[in-house]
Amino acid sequence: MKFRQVTLATGQTFDVPQGIQRIDSSSTHGWQVRYQGTKLFSDGEGDPQQSLAKAVKELLARTAAMPPVLTRVNNGPSINKTSDLPAGISGPIVRARPGRALIAELSVLLPRLGLQPKIKSIYIGSQNTYTEARYLAALAKGIELRKAALDSYEQDALKAHRQNIKALKTELSSLRSRG
Per-residue confidence at 73, pLDDT binned at 50, 70, 90? low
171 pLDDT tier (thresholds 50, 70, 90): confident
Q: How much is the mean pLDDT over the chain?
A: 86
CB atoms within 10 A of CB 26: 5
Helices 132-178 and 48-65, packing angle to 10 deg = 150
Distance separating alpha carbons of residues 83 and 21, to the nearest angstrom: 46
Tens of pLDDT, residue by residue over 2-54, are 888 999 888 889 989 989 999 988 888 999 999 889 999 998 777 888 899 89
Q: What is the residue extent of each domain of the chain?
A: 3-66, 72-179
Structure pTM? 0.62
Is 80 exceeded by the pLDDT of residue 108? yes
Q: What angle do CA 44, 176, 50 make, to 5 degrees?
A: 10
Candidates 5, 15, 13, 49; CA nearest to 29 is 49
Q: For residue 101, is pLDDT > 90?
A: no
